């Protein structure tokens, strides 16, 4: 049976629809079966889910008037949750229901038919305490209340709580407060901190630990018809909603919240390395130096972990410090325990290491590839996540397809990314010998580029008397290869005819090439 949660606050502009859409997507990313019901006549949740509210027929209005079933009206979204669309027709539905018996129960009755298909049903309520909101509260198990961290945050909250109390007494005895969610939070704003403290003082553990920050990417996502985890998975907003999804699931299962943000010490044997750690090579000498410092002064900067079981924690950031602390024979180390669902861990681990510039090009390439494959990102989404250009990400990913001999040299630090870029467009028969020469002789990138030009211009074992390769054609191939960051072949025939072959290694790379051509 699904747990039904109404997202409600009659005060507008508090992040209600943003929360409904992005919580639905985050729960779906956590492999939950989710239905989002847009009960707001503005239809913003429908549009933010990438569905045209004007074209959605049948919709929520037809369901409330019993002209359609929920099963017939729902549509699938790119966020991997189902949507019962809403639009201005809901206003008409509200008017038509005014003289109907048991009008507050219409939505509850209709959702009962699909209850077993979902794990969670979220209802985006209108910003008013009207009949539509009463339908949502009558159908719901809990009500999630987004509260903006501003001066008038508590204004109107008492009215909503009185309504919830009345609904519980007359219409829905099982209705409970799911939690108060602080939204649009800016840690630099003293007033926001004061309001947050007031909420905690008045409502105690009803205030969720998760906090939704002010975030530009979060504000941009609806205009693109995407939940934030599709628009920018690595943004602070996306990570916050993934954390909220984890907290909702933990509460549903009756699990205690993780002690997030609290500086603690943990036995070092309870911590295991992160499975998404992109680094493969650790410098023993550097680790020994850090271990000596830790032994003398202690581990000053805590590592970041997440709970994965009873007395078991997984590293998110700080594996180098954890390894050095082991060498220093520390029994306990300081940690910050974060409530982070698994879906957010790869991005956090990758970004943390990239920001420190600790990875070899191949480690970064392998981590990007895993991020893309495990979480179905495009090259552009991966580029946005790590703050790189799409071309840079595409070039890095091509390192994973290079010959093993070249990858070994990259891993050992004998070749750099600049060398790899020179070799990307070459045949393996040319690239591998050049890579070995560059590593042995310590060639600069410029020296390798010159050697590559000479190798490409040299005859390739042609039969005696065969015409030599036109240097202009070879130069054109090099120019195009650099432009498209891939191997290009130009075969000229008589009469000005010929063949141009541009190699690509994925549909995403093809899309990038076509974008440059257009």
Q: Residue 126 and residue 124: Cα distance in Å, rounded?
A: 7
CA-based nearest residue to 344, from 245, 470, 440 = 245
> Residue 466: which pLDDT band, with cuts at 50, 70 and 90?
very low
The Cα-based distances of 158 to 10, 130, 153, 255, 471 in angstroms read: 11, 16, 10, 29, 80
Report phi then psi at 56, rounded to 5: -75, 105
Contact 82, 120 (CB under 8 A): no
Is this prediction's pTM over 0.75? no
Check whether 360 has a pLDDT greater than 70. Answer: yes
Whole-number mean pLDDT of the chain? Answer: 84
Lowest mean pLDDT among 2-16, 30-44, 323-337: 323-337
| pLDDT 10s digits, 384-436 | 666 677 888 888 888 888 898 998 888 888 888 888 888 887 888 889 999 99
Between helix 16-29 and helix 236-252 the angle, nearest 10°, is 70
Q: Helix (H, G, I), strand (E, B), or coil: what is residue 26?
A: helix
Lowest mean pLDDT among 17-21, 40-44, 349-353: 349-353
Contact 25, 228 (CB under 8 A): yes
**3-252: CATH, from 3.30.360.10, 3.40.50.300, 3.40.1350.10, 3.30.450.30:** 3.40.50.300
Q: Residue 92 and residue 431: Cα distance in Å, rounded?
A: 69
pLDDT at 277: 67
Contact 350, 386 (CB under 8 A): yes
Q: How many CA atoms lie within 13 A of 142 on its CB side?
A: 16
* Segments of 127-172 assigned E as strands: 142-148
Lowest mean pLDDT among 69-73, 382-386, 486-490: 382-386
Domains 3-252 and 263-356 share a fold: no
What is the mean predicted confidence (pLDDT) over 296-321?
Answer: 81
Q: How many CB atoms lie within 10 A of CB 270?
A: 15
Check whether 129 has a pLDDT greater than 60. Answer: yes
**263-356: CATH, from 3.40.50.10860, 3.60.15.10, 3.30.530.20, 3.90.1530.30:** 3.90.1530.30
Q: Residue 131 and residue 460: Cα distance in Å, rounded?
A: 80
pLDDT at 381: 73
**Chain centroid, CA 355 distance in Å:** 17
Q: Does a cis peptide bond (omega within 30 degrees of 0) precede residue 470?
A: no
Domain boundary assignment for the chain: 3-252, 263-356, 464-518
Q: Residue 407 and residue 362: Cα distance in Å, rounded?
A: 7
Lookup result for tokens 């950031």: 317
pLDDT at 342: 63
> Residue 373: which pLDDT band, with cuts at 50, 70 and 90?
confident
Q: Residue 102 class from Cβ within 10 Å (0-12 exposed, 13-18 middle, 19+ buried)?
A: exposed
What is the mean predicted confidence (pLDDT) over 150-163?
Answer: 79
Check whether 348 has a pLDDT greater than 60. Answer: yes
DSSP state of 257: P
| pLDDT 10s digits, 214-272 | 888 899 999 999 999 888 876 778 878 888 888 898 888 776 665 455 567 889 999 99
Check whether 359 has a pLDDT greater than 90. Answer: no
Q: Residue 98 class from Cβ within 10 Å (0-12 exposed, 13-18 middle, 19+ buried)?
A: exposed
Exposure class string for 453-470: b at 16+ Cβ within 10 A, else e: eebbeeeeeeeeeeeebe
> Residue 56: which pLDDT band, with cuts at 50, 70 and 90?
confident
- In order, the DSSP letters of 394-406 are HHHHHHTTS-HHH
What the block records as the tokens of 407 is 């990858």
**Chain centroid, CA 304 distance in Å:** 19
Check whether 193 has a pLDDT greater than 60. Answer: yes
Q: Residue 261 and residue 270: Cα distance in Å, rounded?
A: 18
pLDDT at 62: 94
Lowest mean pLDDT among 280-289, 352-361, 421-430: 352-361
């Amino acid at each position: 049976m699904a747990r039904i949660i109404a997202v409600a606050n009659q005060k507008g502009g508090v992040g209600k629809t943003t929360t409904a859409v992005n919580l639905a997507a985050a729960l779906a990313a956590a492999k939950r079966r989710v239905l989002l019901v847009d009960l707001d006549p503005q239809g913003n949740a429908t549009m933010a889910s990438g569905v045209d509210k004007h074209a959605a027929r049948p919709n929520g209005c037809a369901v409330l008037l019993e002209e359609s079933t929920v099963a017939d009206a729902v549509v699938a979204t790119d966020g991997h949750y189902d949507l019962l669309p809403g639009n201005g027709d809901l206003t008409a539905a509200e008017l038509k229901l005014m003289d109907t018996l048991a009008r507050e129960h219409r939505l509850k009755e209709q959702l009962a038919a699909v209850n077993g298909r979902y794990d969670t049903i979220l209802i985006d309520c209108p910003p008013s305490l009207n009949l539509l909101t009463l339908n949502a509260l009558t159908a719901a198990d809990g009500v999630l209340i987004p509260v903006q961290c501003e001066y008038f945050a508590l204004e109107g909250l008492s009215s909503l709580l009185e309504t919830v109390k009345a609904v519980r007494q007359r219409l829905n005895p099982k209705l409970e407060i799911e939690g108060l969610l602080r939204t649009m939070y800016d840690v630099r704003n003293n007033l926001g901190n004061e309001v947050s403290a007031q909420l905690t003082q008045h409502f105690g553990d009803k205030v969720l630990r998760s906090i939704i920050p002010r975030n530009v990417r979060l504000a941009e996502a609806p205009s693109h018809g995407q939940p934030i985890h599709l628009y920018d998975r690595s943004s602070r907003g996306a990570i916050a909603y993934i954390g909220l999804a984890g907290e909702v699931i933990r509460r549903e299962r009756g699990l205690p919240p993780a002690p997030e943000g609290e500086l603690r010490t943990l036995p070092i044997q309870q911590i295991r390395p992160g499975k998404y750690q992109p680094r493969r090579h650790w410098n023993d000498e550097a680790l020994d130096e850090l271990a000596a410092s830790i032994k003398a002064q202690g581990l000053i900067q805590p590592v970041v972990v997440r709970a994965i079981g009873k007395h078991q924690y997984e590293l998110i950031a700080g594996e180098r410090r954890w390894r050095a602390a082991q060498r220093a024979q520390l029994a306990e180390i300081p940690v910050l325990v974060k409530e982070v669902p698994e879906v957010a861990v790869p991005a956090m681990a990758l970004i943390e290491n990239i920001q420190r510039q600790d990875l070899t090009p191949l480690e970064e390439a392998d981590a990007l590839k895993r991020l893309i494959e495990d979480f179905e990102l495009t090259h552009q989404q991966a580029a946005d996540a790590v703050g790189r250009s799409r071309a840079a990400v595409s070039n890095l990913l091509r390192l994973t397809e290079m010959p093993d001999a070249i990858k070994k040299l990259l891993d050992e630090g004998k070749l750099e990314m600049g060398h790899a870029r020179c070799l990307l467009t070459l045949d393996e028969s040319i690239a591998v010998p050049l890579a070995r020469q560059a590593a042995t002789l310590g060639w600069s990138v410029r020296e390798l580029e010159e050697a590559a030009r000479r190798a490409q211009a040299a005859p390739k074992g042609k039969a005696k008397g065969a015409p030599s390769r036109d240097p202009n054609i070879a130069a054109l191939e090099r120019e195009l290869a650099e432009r498209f960051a891939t191997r290009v072949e130009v075969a000229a025939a008589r009469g000005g005819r010929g063949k141009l072959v541009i190699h690509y290694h994925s549909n995403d790379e093809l899309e990038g090439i076509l974008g440059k051509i257009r």
